[in-house]
């Protein structure tokens, strides 16, 4: 007796090969396969051409259903996104929605203006050493310039060892990014020179295994300590801290790095989508769908950029609402 096919829609052959690939990598993928079957059945109501997920299909599938929990929506939309990425890899260009926020994530990213950044760095440059932190006048200005200049997560910057910072070629070796992903991040010439000056003073005679940014006890700084310090800097320069969920947070410097780059590309006529692929690798994202989130965020911060992005990318901004309009990053 023939076994009834699990997938019966237009996408069935691609669904089967996608799930087979996942299971070959050691995943059981049972629950995800059920979500994918729901999507395949949903697509029976559409005319599908060459296994392509259109904007209409993706946007309709993404809409929140009556009485649907955020976690349920997050799961089914996320599986469609991963399947769409697979189709793109197989030569069937499909529409990729900006990433949904993680369930319960309600932080609204704060994008610093250039004036605000200038005031922050000016304040950092006036720091004096203390008994508890004898190198803070050297460490903090460089740490925050690295966060903005390279778009690092604070955890990645604090995890850098002396041996991870290549002062010859101007490269940072990120060994344990999010989900333990490893990558190489190039620095600008000016930032590399600042790192050299810092190392000549702070790392004279230190071992390669010492944190690049270390405390008085030769240990790495904690994220909470840097967050508390940053709130003090914000106070000093007159930028109000609006609370835990509203920030600004240290991580918003990474958001600002991304938005300022997209803004610059849009204003100078640089092909945004090509640059977005590079930015995705640079940030350590697992997929470009997480990076595409910054297109929406940039358009919110700089409304005149929206027309440029729409013209080049053709409807990158999907017509669906998100909880609290938080637009939190799936991949950070």
What is the CATH classification number for the domain harbouring 151?
1.10.443.10
> What percentage of the chain has pLDDT greater than the value 90?
42
3-state secondary structure of 128: coil
Number of Cα atoms under 13 Å in the Cβ half of residue 152: 28
Question: Are residue 125 and residue 82 in the same domain, yes or no?
Answer: no
The DSSP secondary-structure symbol of 164 reads: G
Could you tell me the strand order of the sheet in which 183-186 lies? 165-166, 171-174, 183-186
Calculate the average pLDDT of the chain: 82
- Per-residue pLDDT of 3-29, as tens digits, reads 678 899 989 999 999 999 888 877 778
Asked whether 108 and 327 are in contact (CB, 8 A), the reply is yes
pLDDT higher than 90, residue 226: yes
pLDDT at position 146, please? Answer: 95
The reply to whether 244 falls in a domain is no
Residues 199 and 224 in one domain: yes
CB 101 within 8 A of CB 320: no
Cβ neighbours of 296 (radius 10 Å):
18
With respect to residue 246, please indicate whether it lies within any of the assigned structural domains: no
Calculate the CA 149 to chain-centre distance. 15
Q: Residue 186 forms beta bridges with which residues?
A: 171
What DSSP character marks residue 324?
A: G
Residues 289 and 319 in one domain: yes
- Does residue 102 lie within any of the structural domains? no
Burial 18-47 (b: 16+ CB within 10 A, else e): bbeebeeeeeebeebbebbbebbebbeeee
Q: Same domain, yes or no, for 44 and 155? A: no
Cα dihedral sign, 149-171-328-248? negative
Token pair belonging to 42: 């949903």
The number of domains in the chain is: 3
Cβ atoms 313, 288 nearer than 8 A: no
User: In the beta sheet, which residues pair with residue 220?
Assistant: 214
The more confidently predicted of residues 303 and 292 is 292
Provide the terminal-to-terminal Cα distance of the chain, rounded to the nearest Å: 49
Model confidence pLDDT, tens digit, residues 145-190: 999 999 999 999 999 999 999 999 999 999 988 777 889 999 999 9
Torsion sign (Cα): 140, 144, 147, 149: negative
Q: Last residue of some domain: 214, 237, 260? A: 237
Domain that holds residue 270: 252-325
Do 84 and 60 reside in the same domain of the chain?
Answer: yes
Q: Are 227 and 256 found together in one domain?
A: no
CA angle 136, 189, 255 (to 5 degrees): 65
Question: Per the domain annotation, does 243 fall within a domain?
Answer: no
State the Cα torsion 14-20-24-25 to the nearest 10°. Answer: 50
219 and 143 both lie in a single domain: yes
Q: What is the pLDDT of residue 159?
A: 94
Using the 3D structure, point to which of 89, 124, 154 is the last residue of a domain: 89
Q: Are residues 125 and 84 in the same domain?
A: no
Cβ atoms < 10 Å from Cβ of 305: 20
Residue 109 in domain = no
Does some domain include residue 247? no
Which residues have C-beta within 8 Å of that of residue 43, sequence separation ≥ 6? Answer: 9, 10, 11, 53, 57
Q: What values do phi and psi take at 245, rounded to 5?
A: -85, -15
Q: For residue 7, tell me if it sits in a domain.
A: no
Q: Is residue 17 part of a domain?
A: yes
**121 and 211 both lie in a single domain:** yes
Q: What is the pLDDT of residues 229-261, one digit of tens each?
A: 999 999 999 998 877 767 799 999 998 998 888
């Amino acid at each position: 007796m023939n076994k009834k096919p699990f997938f019966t829609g237009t996408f069935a052959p691609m669904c089967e090969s996608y799930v087979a690939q996942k299971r070959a990598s050691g995943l059981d993928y049972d629950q995800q396969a059920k979500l994918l079957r729901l999507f395949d059945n949903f697509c029976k109501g559409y005319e599908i051409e060459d296994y392509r997920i259109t904007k209409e299909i993706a946007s309709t599938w993404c809409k929140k259903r009556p009485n649907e929990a955020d976690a349920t929506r997050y799961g089914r939309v996320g599986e469609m996104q991963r399947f769409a990425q697979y189709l793109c890899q197989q030569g069937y260009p499909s529409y990729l929605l900006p990433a949904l926020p993680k369930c319960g994530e309600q932080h609204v990213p704060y994008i610093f203006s250039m004036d605000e950044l200038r005031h922050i760095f000016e304040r950092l440059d006036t720091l004096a050493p203390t008994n508890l932190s004898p190198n803070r006048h050297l460490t903090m200005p460089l740490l925050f310039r690295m966060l903005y200049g390279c778009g690092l997560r604070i955890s990645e910057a604090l995890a850098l060892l002396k041996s991870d910072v290549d002062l010859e070629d101007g490269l940072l070796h990120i060994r344990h990014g999010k989900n333990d992903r490893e990558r190489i991040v190039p620095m600008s010439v000016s930032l590399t020179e600042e790192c050299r000056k810092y190392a000549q003073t702070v790392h004279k005679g230190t071992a390669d295994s010492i944190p690049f940014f270390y405390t008085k006890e030769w240990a790495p700084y904690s994220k909470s300590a840097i967050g508390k310090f940053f709130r003090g800097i914000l106070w000093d320069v007159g930028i109000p801290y609006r609370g835990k969920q509203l920030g600004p947070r240290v991580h918003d410097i990474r958001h600002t790095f991304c938005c300022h780059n997209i803004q610059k590309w849009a204003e100078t006529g640089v092909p945004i989508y090509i640059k977005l692929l590079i930015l995705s690798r640079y940030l350590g994202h697992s997929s470009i769908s997480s990076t595409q989130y910054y297109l929406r965020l940039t358009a919110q911060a700089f409304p005149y950029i929206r027309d440029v992005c729409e013209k080049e990318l053709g409807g990158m901004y999907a017509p669906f609402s998100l909880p609290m309009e938080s637009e939190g990053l799936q991949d950070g």
